[in-house]
Amino acid sequence: MQISEDALKQAYRQMKTIRMFEERLHDEIMTGEIAGFTHLYAGQEAVAVGVCEHLDYNDTIASTHRGHGHCIAKGCDVRGMMLEIYGRADGICKGKGGSMHIADIEKGMLGANGIVGGGPPIVVGAALAAKLYGDGRLAVAFSGDGACNQGTTFEAMNLAVVTNAPAIFAFENNHYSEHTGVAYAVGSKDIASRAESFGMKAWRVDGCDFFKVYETMGEVVDHVRAGKGPAAVEFDTERFFGHFEGDPQNYRGEGEIARLREERDSIKIFREHAAKNKLVSKKDLDAIDKEVSDLIDKSVEESRAAAPPTAEDVLTDVYIDYI
Amino acid sequence: MAELMLREAILQTLFAEMERDENVVVLGEDIVGGMGTEGGPEAIGGIWGTSTGLYDKFGGDRVIDTPISESAIIGAAGGLGLTGKRPVAEIMFADFLGVCMDQIWNQMAKFRYMFGGKTECPAVVRMIYGAGLNAAAQHSQAPHGILTSMPGLKVVMPSTPADAKGLLTTAIRDQDPVIFLEHKALYAEKGEVPEGEYTIPFGHARLAHAGEDVTIVAAGLMVKFATKAAQGLAEQGIGCDVIDLRTTSPLDEEAILDSVENTGRLVVVDESPPRCGLATDIVSLVTNKAYASLKAPPEMVTSPHTPVPFARELEKAYLPSPGKIADAVQRTLAWK
């Protein structure tokens, strides 16, 4: 696996940004300053970053209701995202979208999505457009183990195969669909085999280890860019927080979260691997931690002080024109 | 001018727009017809005759024949629209809205707003709608009311071949998602269609028939019935304005109110059931904004609050008709 030190530092920076963004939101939501429903991505960082490290600016992704990580990994402005989650006028969506609807088309981010299974059909469209552009671009649908049970996802996988669309179905199996276990809700137990049954090649990989994700995604992206049709990947990953902020999580096993944080922490795994293989120095990684911490502090501080939208803003941005 | 059937006007417009702009892409079930069969592509050429020959001319990357997967069709249209293309998706029967509602209602209609006005989705969804062919409860509905109630969508209902061309051209060039409702009982309707470049702006109603006594408001197939009623009434000395809305979203409120201010009497004709629909919407508009002009309570001629029935006699009883419209006009005139 070839990856430069700079690229590794960038990957770590993004993973750490996601982690600190989410940990900080978890704390700030407790203060009551942030309205609405928020679903945190902490624990799954290696997936978003390991996938997006292989993408160019004109590749597109569609995300889920747990979308902050995908946005950050695809290059959305962190400050703009924080402002949006605080519901501010200068937020990335002017305070009209909120946590579940962050998008930035310029960055190829087609939107987080409040509807489970909403993204995969949209990604097939983006992949069909990619095919028409003819420059090797592709589109990635991030979905959870919940969305893998939606009919929209099945329709999207079949249509992608039928049209040989350059789409990647990235299934993040964090073992919980909201508050229900995969053991109950996913009849086949295994998601990748579902994708295979639609006629596409599928991979399975540990989604808590950036290096494994990155290596696997290299093969997946090569396959799709070569015009060999859509592909799927099932990532075995972990969700550190509840389904939404405020979820009492009384469905978790005793000591489960502590164990996941000890054994399955993507940041810890990254650092251990980097140290063992002498890829990036501890000093450099510590410096990144500091840099990210400052960015998050500043974003929260600015968001708290920023102006909310006005009542007149309700009426704009519905149409381009409407007599 | 050339005399064309409405379905021919649609097909010619798709041809012209695909030729004009390489970003226009069409997709839908059996729009090519025959894919994966011995007969081969174009063996059917689209079941409505509105896509015949497009595949041969523009190829499979731009004329995408899809499996029976309405959510994927509309979702793909959304994704194509978000990434710089101009998709025109076909939903073979508007009733199948039930299996792609999320992609219309929660996705494409809301992209611009949810994403703070920084995103556009110039997608057209052509839906073939309406009763009159004894296709029964799941292949005959007129869902324009539901769609008109959704912010973010524009909803178009052409009633003539010329309007089909002018409005579809506008729809394809528009930067918002547009629902384009084609009545299956109007497909063989003939009319003069302007040649060359022809667009009709949204939100501007057409006066299909002019008169001084009663205002009749209608859209789609109902315009044909209302015009027929108005012609019969004219022979009895009763004059009716027939306002063809052309688009229900945006709605040309001014055309309706101006006419009612002149006639003082309103009949709204709507193919869909009466509750929370286009007819109640327009009656509410007029009673709110032109109350002082009204000489009689507004009349609504709608389908009943039932599913669309099958048998000829039942469907006839279900649908508004020129006779039912003429009766409603007479009631408003007789009101004391």
pLDDT at B75: 98
Burial of A97 (C-beta count, 10 Å sphere; 0-12/13-18/19+): buried
Q: How confident is the model at residue B43 (pLDDT cuts 50, 70, 90)?
A: confident
User: Per the domain annotation, does A317 fall within a domain?
Assistant: no
Q: Does residue A1 register a pLDDT over 90?
A: no
Round to whole Å and give the CA distance between A226 and A194.
Answer: 23
CATH match of B2-193 with 3.40.50.300? no
pLDDT at B282: 98
Q: How confident is the model at residue A2 (pLDDT cuts 50, 70, 90)?
A: confident
Q: Is B139 a catalytic residue?
A: yes
**Measured between beta carbons, which residues in chain B are less than 8 angstroms from residue A92?**
116
Percent of chain A with pLDDT over 70: 100
User: Per the domain annotation, does A178 fall within a domain?
Assistant: yes
User: Per the domain annotation, does A90 fall within a domain?
Assistant: yes
Q: Does residue B145 register a pLDDT over 80?
A: yes
Q: How confident is the model at residue B244 (pLDDT cuts 50, 70, 90)?
A: very high
- Which residue range is the domain that position A227 belongs to? 5-303
CA distances from A73 to A44, A150, A208, A222 (A): 12, 25, 15, 20
For A:7-36, CB contacts with B below 8 A are none
> For chain A, how many structural domains are there in total?
1
Beta-carbon pairs below 8 A across chains A and B? 164
Q: Average pLDDT, stretch A254-280?
A: 97
User: Per the domain annotation, does A320 fall within a domain?
Assistant: no
**Measured between beta carbons, which residues in chain B are less than 8 angstroms from residue A110?**
79, 82-83
The reply to whether A204 touches chain B by the CB within 8 Å rule is no
Q: Does residue B118 register a pLDDT over 90?
A: yes
- The verdict on a CB contact (< 8 Å) between B114 and A93 is yes
How far away is chain B from the Cα of A103, in angstroms, using its nearest Cα?
A: 6
Round to whole Å and give the CA distance between A98 and A96.
Answer: 6
pTM above 0.90, yes or no: yes
Tokens representing residue B227 in the block: 């015009």
For B:204-243, CB contacts with A below 8 A are 204
- The verdict on a CB contact (< 8 Å) between B203 and A128 is no
User: Per the domain annotation, does A315 fall within a domain?
Assistant: no
User: Per the domain annotation, does A309 fall within a domain?
Assistant: no
Token pair 């979308």 is at which residue? Answer: A67
CA distances from B310 to B94, B134, B258, B307 (A): 17, 5, 39, 10
Question: Are the C-beta atoms of residues B214 and B263 closer than 8 Å to each other?
Answer: yes
Establish whether domains B2-193 and B206-334 are of one fold: yes
How far away is chain A from the Cα of B119, in angstroms, using its nearest Cα?
A: 7
CA distances from B1 to A59, A223, B193, B198, B306 (A): 46, 52, 5, 11, 42
Note the pLDDT tens digit of each residue in A129-179: 999 999 999 999 999 999 999 999 999 999 999 999 999 999 999 999 999
User: Per the domain annotation, does A127 fall within a domain?
Assistant: yes
Tokens representing residue B35 in the block: 């894919």
Alpha-carbon Rg for chain B in angstroms? 20
User: Per the domain annotation, does A310 fall within a domain?
Assistant: no
Q: Residue A120: phi, psi to the nearest 5?
A: -55, -45
The reply to whether B86 touches chain A by the CB within 8 Å rule is no
**What is the domain partition of chain B in residue ranges?**
2-193, 206-334
Cα end-to-end distance, chain A, whole Å: 57
**A217 CA to centre of own chain:** 15
Which residues, other chains included, contact A100 with Cβ-Cβ below 8 Å and sequence gap of 6+? Answer: A36, A37, A39, A65, A67, A112, A113, A114
Pairing relationship of beta strands B2-5 and B190-193 according to DSSP bridges: antiparallel
CATH match of B206-334 with 2.130.10.10? no
- The verdict on a CB contact (< 8 Å) between A322 and B250 is yes
- Domain with residue A111: its CATH number is 3.40.50.970
Round to whole Å and give the CA distance between A214 and A220.
Answer: 10
Closest residue of A to B59, CA-based?
Answer: A132
Lowest mean pLDDT among A186-190, A314-318, B48-52, B256-260: A186-190
Note the pLDDT tens digit of each residue in A209-242: 999 999 999 999 999 999 999 999 999 999 999 9
Q: Does residue A30 register a pLDDT over 80?
A: yes
